[in-house]
Structure 1
Amino acid sequence: MSRSSQVPEINPFEPPRGGRVDVLVVAGEHSGDQHAATMVKDLLGADSGLSVSALGGPALEEAGAQVLYELTELSVVGIVEVLAHYGEFKKLFAQTVEWIREYKPKVVCLVDYPGFNLRLAKELCRLGISRKGGGETTVLAYISPQIWAWKSKRRFKMQEWLDEVGTIFPFEVDCYKDTTLPAFFLGHPFVDPRFSLQVKYDPTGPLLLLPGSRTAAVGRIFPRMLAGVEKASEEWRGRGVRILYPGPRIKSELERILSEVQLSFEPELRPVSEGSTGSAVLTSSGTMSLQCALAGLPGTIVYRAHSLTYVIGRTFVKIPYLGIANILLDRPFYPELIQGAASANRLAERITEMFSIEAVEEAEAGAEELRRILSMNRYLDPAGWVKSHLNPPRPGEAVEMIGPQ
């Protein structure tokens, strides 16, 4: 696959419907697209007259946002991969800034994706478009960058560019206490009572493989997963193997890799959106790993970065774990096999261990603990938070939730 065929063509953005826009959402990851979609559904449910545009993906479009560009199809990870797509990012960035300058949304809600979104916040401030730059557009960051993991000093720049930040983990609020940037815990989308986990534990279900949502990372992780599964075939033979993928680009990459290896089994490919039961999981360190942990699946995190990205990352990343469930629980709830540790032999050993009674009991207990942590008191729901900036309450007036209490 050529590089140019890996990303959607960047055509001029359409004007906002009706010629005006209340909220522009920018979500560059599949997970951010899904979380932002819930927020947009709630916003439009409370006020159908709102105009919402987005750079995002299919979930935001289904929620009712006018998607200007399929930004989730440009999601890459790592320094090397970003450099490879520099031209696309540069063109898209300039076009986004110009669209905001012309149509002046009341609120720009930046969802995760800090490499692009924080740069956008900085530029809106520099150009005098955002409130922090003297303009009229409020700029919010929903889902805090992982400043607790690396580049923690970003928070001091963020206070110059952003009006507020909404976090999805309770401990993140304290990360901003030494800044002037207001930070609020808005609850985690996965414990929203309307949210259905896309995976469920079933002792007779297949072994699940979730190699990720970014093409380059999948190309490094998926072959290792297959090698480990092949070596441990006696452990799962009666259950089968199911590979979950987020979209067509990743499916194509998985099919390409499968065509180049010889296996004694035929795995099933299934979109994550269709959901799946499973008895255990090998997963990348992304958002789906937390879903698997909350579902009570015994699991293992498998991760392989580009060698240069990994070397640089080790210099700056200061946390003991990659998986968010491990970080929240402060223990290796999902053991992490990273880089060379993700060998076929070690993966086969972990597959055997995951089918033990002890692993199943530990997974169930850990899931309950995670749900308690993520259900702590929150300030507002995401939609109520955004709405409070569209229609600011008068002094002394309480802000209101829109989503479930």
Structure 2
Amino acid sequence: MKYYIIAGEASGDLHGSNLIKELKKQDAQADIRCWGGDLMQAAGATVVKHYKDLAFMGFAEVLMNLRTIFRNLDFCKQDILDYQPDALILIDYPGFNMRIAKWAHQQRFRTTTAPTPATTQGSPAGGPAFRIIYYISPQVWAWKENRVKQIRECVDKMLVILPFEKEFYRKWNYDVEYVGHPLVEVIDGYQAPAGAIPAFSKPVIALLPGSRKQEILKKLPVMLKVSESFCEYQFVVAQAPGQDQNFYNELLAPYPNVATVTNQTYALLQTAQAACVTSGTATLETALFGVPEVVCYKGSNISYQIARRLIKVKYISLVNLIMDKLVVRELIQDDLTPANLRRELNTLLQDNSRRQQLASDYRDLRHLLSQGGHASANAARSILHYLRELSTANHPPRPTSLP
């Protein structure tokens, strides 16, 4: 079968590459064309657009590059029509991928008076016959919940990676399939390169302050201040590869005993006794490595007040959201102070009952995220079963009408 996969970020390239490997294992005739990166290309796909050419962050940068964004959309649409895949597989990246999903749905059910080179036999109204599959749902459960209506209308099959997403979509009368979280297999298969982390003489505490300059400036100074109270530990900052070294040098100048690593976050987590982690996917990665952690968030007051009103979740950490309870402590905005962080870090390092409870919760978390095997294999199996079932039934899709 022919697959057209769109991933627009580094994480999508990683998870897309593992999906491609599994599709090729399970479908010997798999022909895969994609938007992605080096990992997806190494897995055997033909990359037509690299995700690095798509990375426009922030409102101003998006506005400045609108012409390029629209050109990319037009190119993508024509490339899909020329390729004529059996399945269009969208990986996260909702700003771009939801536009493609909407267009693809409209193409498939458009009215034509005569066949065109882009049409295929058996498609309704002469439109393309490819199925639209979404792998790794947009986080509509956090904000912009009304996007579910468009997802229901445009996406034939949704594969979700967080267990609570299945229940979330059920209340919208939309049946989705939970396949597990792809980070489990990534971390299971990780092996640190030789010499990735220096052989420190003290136990290590990892500092993961994020990747964007503004969030680093808000959180890293608080984390660094706490290092003065734990002289028996080696603090190590995971530097974001996109930031200039001089940026970190200025922040770290008053703390000569704090070390840094770049592009070695997983190797750092493998050695750490505890971690201070900015909110986001890193909180889940830290938990899957079994490292006791405290979750840190601090933004500008305006951004925080806006986020409080828009985001509809009980927790900011994926660990707590998945487990639906407070597994790891969250220090948010005004609560993120050196005193509070020092107190929580000391508990994580010294309180054996707390560490044992965390270890138990982390085991339950891993079990929840790996039910039925690894996510990539589950997703590939589900996609192939779905496509083959449709092919056997010769059953064309019908337009979705929402109540």
1:123 aligns with 2:108: no
**Aligned counterparts, 1:58-137, within 5 A:** 58-71=38-51, 74-75=54-55, 82-83=62-63, 86-128=66-108, 134-137=127-130
Return 5+ residue gaps in structure 1 as ranges.
1-20, 396-405
Question: Quick check: 2:84–2:128 contact (8 Å CA) kept in 1?
Answer: no
Question: Quick check: 2:12–2:92 contact (8 Å CA) kept in 1?
Answer: yes
1:260 aligns with 2:250: yes
Question: Quick check: 2:218–2:298 contact (8 Å CA) kept in 1?
Answer: no
What corresponds to 2:382 in structure 1?
385
Q: How many residue pairs align between the two structures?
A: 365
Among 131, 141, 144, which residue is 2:134 paired with? 141
What corresponds to 1:172 in structure 2?
165
How far 1:70 moved relative to its partner?
A: 2.6
Query: Secondary structure of 2:99's partner?
Result: helix
Q: Which has the larger displacement, 204-213 or 33-42? A: 204-213
Residues 289 and 109 of structure 1, relative CA distance in 2, 3 Å threshold: same
What corresponds to 2:153 in structure 1?
160
**Aligned counterparts, 1:1-400, within 5 A:** 22-71=2-51, 74-75=54-55, 82-83=62-63, 86-128=66-108, 134-179=127-172, 181-192=174-185, 195-196=188-189, 205-213=203-211, 218-244=212-238, 250-253=240-243, 255-261=245-251, 262-265=253-256, 266-272=258-264, 275-276=267-268, 277-305=271-299, 309-358=303-352, 359-376=354-371, 381-392=378-389, 394=392
Residues 255 and 194 of structure 1, relative CA distance in 2, 3 Å threshold: closer
C-alpha root-mean-square deviation of aligned residues, in Å? Answer: 3.3
The alignment-based identity, stated in percent, is 26
Q: Which has the larger displacement, 288-297 or 83-92? A: 83-92
Distance in structure 2 (CA, Å) of the matches to 1:115 and 1:308: 24
Distance in structure 1 (CA, Å) of the matches to 2:56 and 2:248: 21
Distance in structure 1 (CA, Å) of the matches to 2:273 and 2:31: 43
Residues 330 and 390 of structure 1, relative CA distance in 2, 3 Å threshold: closer
Question: What amino acid is aligned across from residue 83 of structure 2 in structure 1?
Answer: Y
How far 1:236 moved relative to its partner?
A: 4.3
What corresponds to 1:10 in structure 2?
none
The superposition leaves residues 308-329 of structure 1 with CA deviations (integer Å, 9 ceiling, x where unpaired) of 5544332221111111111122
Distance in structure 1 (CA, Å) of the matches to 2:201 and 2:170: 44
Return 5+ residue gaps in structure 2 as ranges.
111-122, 193-199, 394-403
The superposition leaves residues 73-107 of structure 1 with CA deviations (integer Å, 9 ceiling, x where unpaired) of 74466656655654443332232222212222221
Question: Quick check: 1:165–1:181 contact (8 Å CA) kept in 2?
Answer: no
Distance in structure 2 (CA, Å) of the matches to 1:69 and 1:267: 37
Question: Quick check: 1:78–1:306 contact (8 Å CA) kept in 2?
Answer: no
Distance in structure 2 (CA, Å) of the matches to 1:328 and 1:39: 23
Distance in structure 2 (CA, Å) of the matches to 1:260 and 1:385: 50
The superposition leaves residues 33-67 of structure 1 with CA deviations (integer Å, 9 ceiling, x where unpaired) of 22222111111223354221222233322322222
Query: Secondary structure of 1:91's partner?
Result: helix
The superposition leaves residues 276-309 of structure 1 with CA deviations (integer Å, 9 ceiling, x where unpaired) of 3211112222222112112221112223456655
Task: Give the TM-score of the pair, scaled to structure 1.
Answer: 0.78
Structure whose alpha-carbon radius of gyration is higher: 2
Question: Quick check: 2:203–2:232 contact (8 Å CA) kept in 1?
Answer: no
The superposition leaves residues 235-285 of structure 1 with CA deviations (integer Å, 9 ceiling, x where unpaired) of 44444233335xxxx424152421333232242213147633211112222
Residues 54 and 311 of structure 1, relative CA distance in 2, 3 Å threshold: farther
Question: Quick check: 1:301–1:336 contact (8 Å CA) kept in 2?
Answer: yes
Query: Secondary structure of 2:243's partner?
Result: helix
Query: Secondary structure of 1:301's partner?
Result: strand
Task: Give the TM-score of the pair, scaled to structure 2.
Answer: 0.78
How far 1:346 moved relative to its partner?
A: 3.7
Question: What amino acid is aligned across from residue 386 of structure 1 in structure 2?
Answer: I
What corresponds to 2:196 in structure 1?
none
How far 1:165 moved relative to its partner?
A: 0.1
Query: Secondary structure of 1:334's partner?
Result: coil
Distance in structure 2 (CA, Å) of the matches to 1:69 and 1:237: 48
Question: Quick check: 1:206–1:278 contact (8 Å CA) kept in 2?
Answer: yes
Question: Quick check: 1:33–1:72 contact (8 Å CA) kept in 2?
Answer: no
The superposition leaves residues 336-387 of structure 1 with CA deviations (integer Å, 9 ceiling, x where unpaired) of 2334443444434443333223443232122112123224458970111222
Question: Quick check: 1:52–1:66 contact (8 Å CA) kept in 2?
Answer: yes
How far 1:142 moved relative to its partner?
A: 0.6
Residues 228 and 109 of structure 1, relative CA distance in 2, 3 Å threshold: same
Question: Quick check: 2:294–2:344 contact (8 Å CA) kept in 1?
Answer: yes
Question: Quick check: 1:143–1:167 contact (8 Å CA) kept in 2?
Answer: yes
Q: Which has the larger displacement, 128-137 or 254-263? A: 128-137
